[in-house]
Structure 1
Amino acid sequence: MPNFNGRGISLSVQLYALVIFLTVVSFTVRLLMNVDHTRDYLNDQMASHSQDAATSLGLSISPYMDDENLVIADTMMSAIFDSGYYQSMRFVTQEGQVKLNRENPQTVESVPAWFMHAFELTPPTGSSEVNDGWQIAGTLYVTSHPGVSYLQLWQYAQRAFLSSLVILIVSLIIAHFILRAVLKPLHTVTEQADAVSRKQFVHNPATYWTKEVNVLAGAINAMVVNVQKTFDSMTKHAENLTRDAYLDKLTALGNRRAFESQFKLDLHDLAEHHQANTSSHTIGLVSLASLQSVNRDFGYQAGDAYVLEAVEILKNSFKNISGNKIYRIAGGSFIFTLPHNLELCLDQVQLVHESLQSLSSSRYPNGFGSVVVTGYSEQDTLTELLARLDTLATTDAANLGQAVSATSFQAGSEQTIPSLGLQQWKQLINDILATGEVEFSYQPVKAANSTAIIYNELFARFSYQNELIANAPLFAMAERLDLTEELDKKIIMALGELSKNGLDKPVAVNISRQSLHSAHFSTWLSQFMRDAKPYMTELYFEVNETALLDNINGATNNINLFKTHGIKLCIERFGVSFSSFKYLRGLNVDFIKLDGSYVRDLMQNPDNNYFIQAVTQICHGLGIKVIACHVEDEATYHKLNELHCDASQGQFIQAPLKLAHNCLKNECDNVVNTLKSPTDLNNHGT
Structure 2
Amino acid sequence: MARTQNDRQISHQQGVITLRSLLLLFTGGMLLLVLVAAASVSFDRFRDYMSDQLQGHARDGATAIGLSLSNAIDGRDPVASSSLIDAVFDSGRYLSVVYVNNQGEEVAGRGTSLREVDVPGWFVALADLPLPVGEAEVVRGWSRLGKVRVVSHPGRAYEDLWVVTVRIVAGSALIGGLGLIGLFWMMTRLMRPLRAVEKQAKALGKRDFRRRVDITSTRELNQVTHAMNQMADDLGRLFEGQAKLIQHLRKVNNEDNLTGLASRGAFEQRLKVEVESEERSAPGVLFLIQLEAFAQYNQSYGRDEADRLLIRIAGALNAFVNAHSDSFAGRLTGAGFAVFLPGVSRADGVIWCRQLVEELDGIYSDLSAPMDVAVHAGIAQAAETRKADELMSAADEALRQAQMEEGSACHAADRDRHEHHDSEKWRVMIGEAIAQGQMSLWMQPMISNGDDGVLFHQVFSRMRTEDGWIKAGIFVPMAERFGMIPDIDRWVLERSLALLRLEPDTRLALSLGMVSVASETFRKELLEQLSAAGKERRRLQIGISEQAVHHHRTAVGLLVRGLNRLKVSVIVDRFGVGGVPFSYLRNLRFQALRIDNSFVHDIDSHDDNRFYLESVTTIAHSRGVRVYVTGVETAAEYAALQGVGIDGAMGYHLGRPFEAGH
Higher deviation after alignment, 636-645 or 357-366: 357-366
Deviations 1:230-270 (A, max 9, x none): 9737954x55554444322321111332222112212356x
Q: Provide the C-alpha distance between the structure 1 equivalents of 2:484 and 2:271, rounded to a whole number of angstroms.
A: 26
Q: TM-score, normalised by structure 1?
A: 0.77
1:31 aligns with 2:35: yes
SS of 1:549 mapped into structure 2 = helix
Gaps of 5+ in 2: none
Work out whether residues 204 and 221 of structure 1, in 8 Å CA contact, stay in contact via their aligned partners in 2: no
Work out whether residues 372 and 400 of structure 1, in 8 Å CA contact, stay in contact via their aligned partners in 2: no
Higher deviation after alignment, 197-206 or 143-152: 197-206
Q: Provide the C-alpha distance between the structure 2 equivalents of 1:281 and 1:439, rounded to a whole number of angstroms.
A: 24
Q: Provide the C-alpha distance between the structure 2 equivalents of 1:488 and 1:89, rounded to a whole number of angstroms.
A: 102
Match of 2:181 in 1: 169
Q: 1:442 to 1:655 in 2, by over 3 A?
A: same
1:645 aligns with 2:651: no
Match of 1:511 in 2: 512
Which of the residues 237, 241, 256 maps onto 2:264? 256
Match of 2:591 in 1: 590
SS of 2:110 mapped into structure 1 = strand
1:2 aligns with 2:2: yes
Q: 1:300 to 1:401 in 2, by over 3 A?
A: closer
Which of the residues 272, 288, 291 maps onto 2:294? 291
1:68 aligns with 2:79: yes
Match of 2:165 in 1: 153
Higher deviation after alignment, 251-260 or 398-407: 398-407
Number of aligned positions between the proteins: 636
1:247 aligns with 2:248: no
Match of 1:633 in 2: 634
Work out whether residues 213 and 225 of structure 2, in 8 Å CA contact, stay in contact via their aligned partners in 1: no
Work out whether residues 350 and 400 of structure 1, in 8 Å CA contact, stay in contact via their aligned partners in 2: no
Q: Provide the C-alpha distance between the structure 2 equivalents of 1:13 and 1:463, rounded to a whole number of angstroms.
A: 61
Deviations 1:589-625 (A, max 9, x none): 3332322222222233333233333333433443434
Amino acid at match of 2:2: P
Q: 1:289 to 1:400 in 2, by over 3 A?
A: closer
SS of 2:266 mapped into structure 1 = helix
Within a 5 Å distance, the mapping from 1:218-229 to structure 2 comes to 221=230, 225=234
- The structure that has the greater radius of gyration is 2
Which of the residues 283, 304, 309 maps onto 1:306? 309
Q: Provide the C-alpha distance between the structure 1 equivalents of 2:525 and 2:228, rounded to a whole number of angstroms.
A: 42
Match of 1:105 in 2: 115
Q: 1:139 to 1:653 in 2, by over 3 A?
A: same
Work out whether residues 283 and 381 of structure 2, in 8 Å CA contact, stay in contact via their aligned partners in 1: yes
Q: 1:347 to 1:154 in 2, by over 3 A?
A: farther
1:126 aligns with 2:132: yes
1:44 aligns with 2:48: yes
Q: 1:414 to 1:622 in 2, by over 3 A?
A: closer
Across the aligned residues of Structure 1 and Structure 2, the Cα RMSD in angstroms comes to 4.5
SS of 1:600 mapped into structure 2 = coil
Q: 1:436 to 1:388 in 2, by over 3 A?
A: same
Deviations 1:637-664 (A, max 9, x none): 2222333334332223222233318xxx
Q: 1:466 to 1:600 in 2, by over 3 A?
A: closer
Work out whether residues 262 and 329 of structure 2, in 8 Å CA contact, stay in contact via their aligned partners in 1: yes
Which of the residues 331, 335, 340 maps onto 1:337? 340
Q: CA deviation at 1:78?
A: 1.2
Match of 2:326 in 1: 323
Match of 1:20 in 2: 24
Query: Greater relative contact order (Cα 8 A, min sep 6): structure 1 or 2?
Result: 1
1:570 aligns with 2:580: no
Within a 5 Å distance, the mapping from 1:63-462 to structure 2 comes to 63=69, 66-69=77-80, 70-81=82-93, 88-89=95-96, 91=98, 93=100, 94-95=104-105, 99-103=109-113, 105-106=115-116, 108=118, 120-129=126-135, 131-133=137-139, 134-137=144-147, 139-145=149-155, 146-180=158-192, 183=194, 187-188=196-197, 194=202, 196-199=204-207, 210=219, 214=223, 221=230, 225=234, 232=241, 235-236=244-245, 239=247, 242-268=250-276, 271-272=278-279, 281-339=284-342, 341-342=344-345, 349=353, 351-356=355-360, 358=362, 360=365, 363=369, 367-371=373-377, 373=379, 376=382, 381-396=387-402, 411-413=418-420, 419-421=425-427, 428=432, 431=435, 439-447=441-449, 449-461=450-462
Work out whether residues 542 and 568 of structure 2, in 8 Å CA contact, stay in contact via their aligned partners in 1: yes
Q: CA deviation at 1:144?
A: 0.8
SS of 1:603 mapped into structure 2 = helix
Q: Provide the C-alpha distance between the structure 2 equivalents of 1:575 and 1:248, rounded to a whole number of angstroms.
A: 15
Work out whether residues 442 and 657 of structure 2, in 8 Å CA contact, stay in contact via their aligned partners in 1: no
Work out whether residues 378 and 400 of structure 2, in 8 Å CA contact, stay in contact via their aligned partners in 1: no
Deviations 1:124-143 (A, max 9, x none): 21222354432335533223
Q: 1:243 to 1:411 in 2, by over 3 A?
A: farther
Amino acid at match of 2:131: T
Work out whether residues 602 and 609 of structure 1, in 8 Å CA contact, stay in contact via their aligned partners in 2: yes
Q: Provide the C-alpha distance between the structure 2 equivalents of 1:106 and 1:500, rounded to a whole number of angstroms.
A: 78
Q: 1:373 to 1:153 in 2, by over 3 A?
A: same
Higher deviation after alignment, 456-465 or 295-304: 456-465
Higher deviation after alignment, 570-579 or 458-467: 458-467
Q: 1:543 to 1:71 in 2, by over 3 A?
A: same
Q: CA deviation at 1:77?
A: 1.0
Q: 1:467 to 1:130 in 2, by over 3 A?
A: farther
Q: Provide the C-alpha distance between the structure 2 equivalents of 1:118 and 1:337, rounded to a whole number of angstroms.
A: 102
Amino acid at match of 1:144: P
Gaps of 5+ in 1: 662-686
Q: CA deviation at 1:479?
A: 4.0
Work out whether residues 446 and 653 of structure 1, in 8 Å CA contact, stay in contact via their aligned partners in 2: no
Deviations 1:461-504 (A, max 9, x none): 46799986753465445545656455444433332222222332
Amino acid at match of 1:321: H
Higher deviation after alignment, 220-229 or 473-482: 220-229
Q: CA deviation at 1:17?
A: 0.8
Q: CA deviation at 1:573?
A: 2.2
Match of 1:682 in 2: none
Q: Provide the C-alpha distance between the structure 1 equivalents of 2:114 and 2:202, rounded to a whole number of angstroms.
A: 73
Work out whether residues 443 and 657 of structure 1, in 8 Å CA contact, stay in contact via their aligned partners in 2: no
Q: CA deviation at 1:118?
A: 10
Q: CA deviation at 1:20?
A: 1.3
Match of 1:669 in 2: none
Work out whether residues 353 and 399 of structure 1, in 8 Å CA contact, stay in contact via their aligned partners in 2: no
SS of 1:443 mapped into structure 2 = strand
Within a 5 Å distance, the mapping from 1:476-487 to structure 2 comes to 476=477, 478-480=479-481, 484-485=485-486, 487=488
Q: Provide the C-alpha distance between the structure 2 equivalents of 1:554 and 1:92, rounded to a whole number of angstroms.
A: 106
Q: Provide the C-alpha distance between the structure 1 equivalents of 2:172 and 2:116, rounded to a whole number of angstroms.
A: 25
Deviations 1:92-123 (A, max 9, x none): 75347983123463463xx7x69x55993223
Match of 1:613 in 2: 614
Q: 1:273 to 1:254 in 2, by over 3 A?
A: closer
Amino acid at match of 2:279: E
SS of 2:112 mapped into structure 1 = strand
Q: CA deviation at 1:21?
A: 0.7
Q: Provide the C-alpha distance between the structure 1 equivalents of 2:123 and 2:658, rounded to a whole number of angstroms.
A: 78
SS of 1:441 mapped into structure 2 = strand
Q: CA deviation at 1:150?
A: 1.5
Deviations 1:529-574 (A, max 9, x none): 5544434443333332222222556645643543344333332322
Q: 1:43 to 1:296 in 2, by over 3 A?
A: closer
1:604 aligns with 2:608: no
